[in-house]
Each structure stands twice: as C-alpha cells, then as structure tokens.
Amino acid sequence: MKLVKLKKKSMKKLTACILMTAMIWTSCSDETVETPNENPVEPPTEEPQPPQEEPTPEENGEESLLPDGCQIGALFSFQRNLRNGIDGNRHNTNVTTFYNRPLFDMVELGLSPGDPSAGTENPETPKAWWDNLVEEIAYSGLDYVAANCRGKRENPEKYGTDAGNPAELTYMIDAMKRRGVADKFKIAIFDDCPASWEAARNEALGRGYAGYNDAKPEKRKPHPLRELKLNVNGDFEDWEMFHDSVYKYIWDLNLKVALQTLNDCSKKDGRDYMFKLDNRPVILFWGNGFIDYKDNDHSDCTGKLLAILRHLREDCKKLIGIYPYLILDQVWEKYDNTLSAAPEVDAMNDWFTIRKIDQESDPYKVRDFRGFKIGTGVPGFSVDDLDATKKAMFVDAKAYSAVPLLEEALKYFVDHKVQLIFLEGFTDVAENAALWRSSDTKFYKYPNQRLNTLRKYSRNPFPKTQKLEAEACDYCYETGGSGNAFSKKMVKQCNDTNYGGGWMVENLGANVAQNLKWKALPFRKGTSVLMVRYTATKEATVYFRTSNSDGSNSTTYPDKKLSPTGTDNWQTVEIGQISNDEYTRLDLFVTVKSGSINLNYIEIIAE
C-alpha cells in the first residue's frame, strides 16, 4: 500500500570515442532521447516480500562505519530535461527501459515542463526539482555530490542544448538555503569530458551534439588535440589554435563557469559550498577516449594532457586564489604517460566498467594512487534491454538479497580503507544506476532503500535531527486495505512558510489512506521526540508505532489529539516520544485514527 506517492553511468565507459547522440546522453551522463511516455510505473505497494532483510552490521554506537577521514559522495546530472521533469517521467527509450524512475515525478504531480522545443521552462518546475534533489541528498548523509558539468553554450539561441550548464548551480544553492540544508553537504565539479570537450565543440561547429555515427563518418572528425604540437617547454606552440579549438570548451565554457559560480555564491553567503580536499576545490574528470580516433597513436598526446592540467591549475589560481585538487579517470594515463609522475595530478579513480550481459563486470573498484585510495562503484545497471540487436549491459542491484549491491560495494570500500568514495549516479535513471528515491519495484525493494544504505555508511549514520517529508514515505495505505487505495491527487504543493513550503499529503485519513510508513529509520540511544507539521480544519487523532524490519518488537504509542488550525495555519506539534536503550533502526508508522490532516513533514529530534 504505498504512497502512490508522490509517486513513489556506465555502459561500457567510453575509451575509444564518443558514439552517437543516444550513447553520450546515456553514458555516465543520465541524459536521454525523446520517446513516447507509456505505461507509468506505479509506486510500490506494501505487498508481502521475500523474508530477507538487510543485516545490521556490528556498529560501535553512533560511530560511522567509514574509515577515519573517509568521505562519501556521488555524481549527479542536472540537464534541462531532468530539471523540467521530462526524463524523470519517461518510461523508456527505444533501447532501454527506465526502471529507476524518481519517486518525485513532477509531471505526474501536475507540474508542466514548459516547451523544450522552444528552449523554455516553467520556472516552478526546475525550482521544485532542485528543492527535492537537495532534500534527498541531505537525507542520504552524503558529504558531497559532484555536479556533472557539460559546459555553457556559446550560442544558446542557435544551439539550445542544456546538457548541464554549470551556471545553473546557483539555483541548486538557492534550493539548499530554501530547504534548510546549506550546511549538510558540499559540491564538487565533475568534468564530463566526452560532452564538454568533444560534443559541445562538435555542436558549436555545426555537426550536432554528438550527432554522428559510423553511418555518417563525414561528421566525425579527429579531435584537434592530436594535431597540436608542443614546444620545448611542454606548452602548446600555437596558443590561439589550442585555445579556440580545445581549451575554451574545457575552461572558458565549463570549468571556469563552475568555479566562478560556486565561488561567487560562497563569498556572497559567507559559506563555502565547494567540496575540498587539502583545502582545494575538487575537480574530477571522466575519460577522454575520444582523442583516440581510429588510427590515432596514443603517443600523439604524450605531454599534452599534462599541459592542459597545468593551464587549468594556473587559471583556477588566478580566478579564485587557490589551486584545484585534480582527480583523473585512470584512462588518462593511456593517452599521456607523463601523468603518472606529474605533481599536477592529485589522485586517480578507477571508474567502474559495465560489459555485456554474459561477461564479467566490475561494478566497484578501489584505486590507490600515491597512497590515496578512491573507491568507485555503481548500485546497479541496465541498458539496451529493448534492443534485440545488442547484448544488454546489466549488473544486478540485488535489491531483495540480504546484501544489495550498493551495500556490498560500500562494505568493500570500508574493508579496503579508502579515503574517498565516489558513486555513480544519484540521478542516473537512464542507466538504472540511480540513488534517489524511486518508484522502481524491480531493482529497489522500497523507495528509500538506497538513500538509507548511503546514510548507514555516512559519517553521521544516526543524526540527531531527521526531517521526513510526508510525500517521501515508503508506503501510504488504508488501514486494513491491500495497498492500492491511494490517490495520487493526495500529493499537493503546500503554502507552508517553513523550508520553502514544498509538498504535502492532503487529507490524510479522509477515507483514502490513513497510514504512512518509513522503513529502517535510524534512532539514537535515549529519547527522541516526534513532531508533525500539519493543518486541519477539524480535530483529528493520530498515533504512531515502531517495529523491527521484520515486524517484530512492534510498539504502539498513545493517541494524540491534534487541534484544528484552519486551512493555511501550519502548526508544529509533538505527537510522542520514543525511548531506546541502544542505537537502532526501526520502521515507523504514522496513522490518522480519526479526522483528517494535511501533513507536510515529520521531525525526529533526539534529546
């Protein structure tokens, strides 16, 4: 009986060249192509499931399972068609089924995406998308997220593609402040090199944004980096040619914009939003196999990638006063072997690879570069399942097993004492590698499953304060019902002034659904107070209960009467207290026993 809720990267990573548009949009980048929206996936209903439950590892009180000093984060994309709800509302492309669709489906909730063909958006839609995204990131306990930056268009009127304009990150920070999570996580920069270095350049040259393939070889030109020459000082002989054909797409239109945006917001607010290591802003780079086109000799780029990094470091220093912390995909060494010993390189990661369905895959890895260990992994993966001409790329998320793949990866990183964890795909619906809340019932056991796992392995696994959005519960159902009695119309935008308003579950208890349930919530040792943020036109009675994940140790707490508030007068009221002798994880049920309420959120505050 799930809350009909608010509705309820990387293919074999490119190392040889960018493929056709569909691939660059899908690989690592969460991007998709237009196809009809058919047969919506309903959010999960609370049906009997296999009796496997995630084991709780031995934990030392509230202490994190992570190695000392380790930080955990994930990649996220923010292209226009994600922000306006189109990608999240789609159910497939012509080659891939989208299972990991977001629970927060804005189109299904009634928000218009605007007119993508005209390059316009309904301003309320991306605002709502950012608001929800930052809330989910904060809920997960991640230390940082890496923004998948693909560059700002030189001529947006002619080339309107917004594949991840880093200038948009100012709206993310606005949302962090609006939703009260500005202090919860930091933002790193991820340079999606196949998109920012190559595809954006091809678009600017009139070839289309990666709109070429083997059937149109005349559009595929070797990347100019192979033709550029270095002087005796290891810099490019023809600076103007280097800048205009290569560097401006890397720096001027992408990394400079990202750094400037984050730095300006940090200075304005007196708060540092940038994720830093060694007190330097982190920039991660994806692979650059596109420079190796057909007969290209890898040695052609020896010293050239290093020269690019030197320029980036100096330009960053000029722009914001400090050098960046540069983390490369290990494939960079393939094209420039001078990088292995270059002091300009701070770390390398071994991004996961996804092979064909009947071949061995590496869904998580650890790479040690000069003593700094980075763990990279994916929570699951599925593409090309609808294309009979291809072998699907698939890694089982193991959602219903005792140890799902995401937890398996995190345990591996802990065992190998990594210093940084970098996960694929907070928003990666296109490759079914997402981390967000999802209406998926095939690769998720329940909507918050992956967020709960992230928080379990975060540096703060038992937070003192938790905010549970009503529309983000795992199940919503009618008492005694089968779980299919919920109307999506119950989720509405609300006019609460707290945390920017957001969404509410309307008329909870009014003969449609009386119960909300969250799974595996962390409770601290001692007493925790439950507070509800609600409105009601008449008196209502609510109560809550807790249980272990298998239903055992169920405890029902006393009824609490909620006074009428009026339609728009939001009130926060304590509905009870929970006492625990130890740190634990419990399922929480909140029931409207009589009357009805509009519920915005619940707060759990440990005393």
Token pair in block for residue 452: 């709960």
Q: What pairing do the DSSP bridges indicate for beta strands 475-477 and 515-523?
A: antiparallel
Residues of the chain with CATH 3.20.20: 71-457
Q: What is the pLDDT of residue 41?
A: 30
Choose among 510, 513, 509: nearest CA to 592: 509
Long-range contacts of 566-571, Cβ-Cβ distance < 8 Å, separation of 24 or more: 566/535, 566/537, 567/535, 567/537, 568/495, 568/535, 569/535, 570/494, 570/496, 570/497, 570/498, 570/533, 570/534, 570/535, 570/600, 571/533, 571/534, 571/535
Tens of pLDDT, residue by residue over 304-315, are 999 999 999 999
Q: What is the pLDDT of residue 309?
A: 98
Say how far apart CA 212 and CA 218 lie, in whole Å: 8
Query: What confidence tier does 293 reach under pLDDT thresholds 50, 70, 90?
Result: low
* SS3 of residue 263 by DSSP: helix
Q: What is the pLDDT of residue 224?
A: 86
Mean per-residue pLDDT, 383-408: 93
What's the CATH superfamily of 465-606? Galactose-binding domain-like (2.60.120.260)
Residue 478 has pLDDT above 90, yes or no: no
> What are the residue ranges of helices labelled H in 371-448?
405-415
Mean per-residue pLDDT, 252-263: 98
Q: What is the pLDDT of residue 51?
A: 34
> CB of 23 within 8 A of CB of 65?
no
Token pair in block for residue 300: 């052609």
Q: What is the pLDDT of residue 487?
A: 54
Regarding predicted confidence, which is higher, 514 or 42? Answer: 514
Pick the CATH number of 71-457 from 3.20.20, 3.30.1330, 1.20.1070, 3.30.70: 3.20.20
Q: What is the pLDDT of residue 35?
A: 32
Q: What is the pLDDT of residue 3?
A: 43
Radius of gyration, alpha carbons of the chain: 24
* DSSP 8-state class, residue 337: G
Q: What is the pLDDT of residue 359?
A: 55
Residue 187 CA, distance from chain mean position: 12
Choose among 292, 300, 363: nearest CA to 331: 292
Maximum CA pair distance of the chain? 82
Token pair in block for residue 505: 């579950």
Choose among 92, 119, 83, 112: nearest CA to 37: 92
Q: What is the pLDDT of residue 6?
A: 38
% of the chain residues with pLDDT over 70: 81
Residue 575 has pLDDT above 70, yes or no: yes
Token pair in block for residue 178: 């609006």
* DSSP 8-state class, residue 291: G
% of the chain residues with pLDDT over 90: 66
Q: What is the pLDDT of residue 438?
A: 96
Tens of pLDDT, residue by residue over 323-375, are 999 999 999 998 999 999 999 999 999 986 665 555 566 899 999 999 999 99
Query: Rounded to a whole number, what is the distance in angstroms from the first to the last CA of the chain?
Result: 32
Mean per-residue pLDDT, 512-540: 95
- 268 Cβ contact list (under 8 Å, min separation 6): none
Mean per-residue pLDDT, 185-213: 84
Choose among 546, 518, 548: nearest CA to 447: 518
Residue 119 has pLDDT above 60, yes or no: yes
Characterize 461-498 residue by residue with b for buried, 16 or more Cβ atoms within 10 angstroms of its Cβ, and e for exposed: bbbeebbbbbbbbbbbbbeebebebbebebbbebebee
Characterize 167-202 residue by residue with b for buried, 16 or more Cβ atoms within 10 angstroms of its Cβ, and e for exposed: ebbebbbbbbebbebbebbbbbbbbbbbbbbbbbbb
Regarding predicted confidence, which is higher, 317 or 487? Answer: 317
Q: What is the pLDDT of residue 288?
A: 87
Residue 580 has pLDDT above 50, yes or no: yes
Choose among 398, 392, 426: nearest CA to 411: 398
Token pair in block for residue 457: 């392995």
CA angle 252, 255, 256 (to 5 degrees): 55
Q: What is the pLDDT of residue 386?
A: 94
Residue 525 CA, distance from chain mean position: 30
Q: For 446-478, give the secondary structure using H, E and C.
A: CCCHHHHHHHHCCCCCCCCEEEEEHHHCCEEEC
Please classify residue 18 by burial: count the beta carbons closer than 10 Å to its beta carbon, then call 0-12 exposed, 13-18 middle and 19+ buried.
buried
Range with lowest mean pLDDT among 136-140, 193-197, 508-512, 518-522:
508-512
Say how far apart CA 533 and CA 530 lie, in whole Å: 10
Average per-residue pLDDT for the chain: 85
Count of beta carbons in the 10 Å neighbourhood of residue 520: 22
Q: What is the pLDDT of residue 47?
A: 38
Tens of pLDDT, residue by residue over 6-39, are 333 343 333 333 333 433 444 444 433 333 223 3
Q: What is the pLDDT of residue 275?
A: 99
Say how far apart CA 61 and CA 592 lie, in whole Å: 33
For 386-402, the DSSP string reads T-TTSPPEEE---TTSS
Q: What is the pLDDT of residue 488?
A: 60
- 521 Cβ contact list (under 8 Å, min separation 6): 466, 468, 585, 586, 587, 588, 604
Tell whether pTM > 0.75: yes
Q: What is the pLDDT of residue 496?
A: 94
Query: What confidence tier does 210 reach under pLDDT thresholds 50, 70, 90?
Result: low
* DSSP 8-state class, residue 102: B
Query: What confidence tier does 483 reach under pLDDT thresholds 50, 70, 90?
Result: very low
Range with lowest mean pLDDT among 55-69, 182-196, 244-258, 516-530:
55-69
- 549 Cβ contact list (under 8 Å, min separation 6): 53, 54, 519, 520, 585, 587
> CB of 108 within 8 A of CB of 40?
yes
CA angle 220, 224, 229 (to 5 degrees): 155
Residues of the chain with CATH 2.60.120.260: 465-606
> CB of 607 within 8 A of CB of 528?
yes
Range with lowest mean pLDDT among 100-104, 231-235, 240-244, 287-291:
287-291
Regarding predicted confidence, which is higher, 408 or 299? Answer: 408
Mean per-residue pLDDT, 277-302: 81
